Amino acid sequence: SQELEQSPQSLIVQEGKNLTINCTSSKTLYGLYWYKQKYGEGLIFLMMLQKGGEEKSHEKITAKLDEKKQQSSLHITASQPSHAGIYLCGLRSYNTDKLIFGTGTRLQVFP
Amino acid sequence: NAGVTQTPKFRVLKTGQSMTLLCAQDMNHEYMYWYRQDPGMGLRLIHYSVGEGTTAKGEVPDGYNVSRLKKQNFLLGLESAAPSQTSVYFCASSSGRWETQYFGPGTRLLVL
């Protein structure tokens, strides 16, 4: 969706390296969701951010929301092969029942 | 607690054939959604439902119909399949508008 841009589109990193994925919206963010999709499988919910400046962490994954920039970043510390997959961000804008998804970032982690 | 399940997992259709995809959730969620996922296009919303007996159009509703006769089930129908409907279809559910959507494992559909 042009309303939600993810970068980079793909990423190949060596195990142990840190990495960041960005999600930028052309609309005001009222909620930003991060999902992970393993190849050929469904989406797994990671985190939801709602407030400007909010930061959440789960294991080695940290997500932040910059309301002013209308952007969220997902940071993985000390990447592992288990982190490989497609990361998608989803935008919820005001007064809507729907989520708009970005096109995803494909992450590969090699030993 | 199975969460969101989808049947079938994989299907091959010929152009013009019809089929129904079934989504079931056991979380008593009010909201249910059908998406399709295509390379380079991300996830796009087809139809959704905000409660039993209700349906609404999403981003790409043409060629699809849906029904929500029971709260736990959301059916997606293709009346006359076209090759452009070759895709991976995902169902999701949530307890409310602002709540997290939980996804099923997907159905791969190939239309020849």
User: For residue A23, what pLDDT is reported?
Assistant: 95
Mean pLDDT of A80-90: 95
Shortest Cα distance, chain B CAs vs residue A76, angstroms: 22
- Over residues B38-57, the pLDDT tens digits come to 988 889 999 999 999 999 99
Tell me whether B98 touches chain A (CB under 8 Å). Answer: yes
User: For residue B1, what pLDDT is reported?
Assistant: 66
User: What tokens does B37 get?
Assistant: 């996922």
| Record: contact A45-B43, CB cut-off 8 A | no
Q: Which residues of A touch B97 (CB under 8 A)?
A: 96-97
User: For residue B87, what pLDDT is reported?
Assistant: 96
User: For residue B6, what pLDDT is reported?
Assistant: 97
- Tell me: pLDDT of A1 over 70: no
Grouped pLDDT means (10 residues each) for chain B, 112 residues: 91 96 97 93 92 93 96 96 97 90 95 96
Q: Which residues of B touch A36 (CB under 8 A)?
A: none
| Record: contact B50-A102, CB cut-off 8 A | no
User: For residue A40, what pLDDT is reported?
Assistant: 78
Q: Are B6 and B92 in contact (CB under 8 A)?
A: no
A15: helix, strand or coil: coil
The CA–CA distances, whole Å, from B96 to A22, A68, B28, B81 equal: 27, 27, 11, 32
CA B51 – CA A50 distance, rounded (Å) = 24
- Over residues A25-83, the pLDDT tens digits come to 888 777 899 999 988 788 999 999 987 788 999 889 999 998 888 899 999 999 999 99
| Structure confidence at residue A106 as a pLDDT band (50, 70, 90) | very high
Shortest Cα distance, chain B CAs vs residue A46, angstroms: 10
Average pLDDT, chain B: 94
Disruptive mutation site among B36, B57, B101 for chain A (greatest number of A CBs within 10 Å): B101
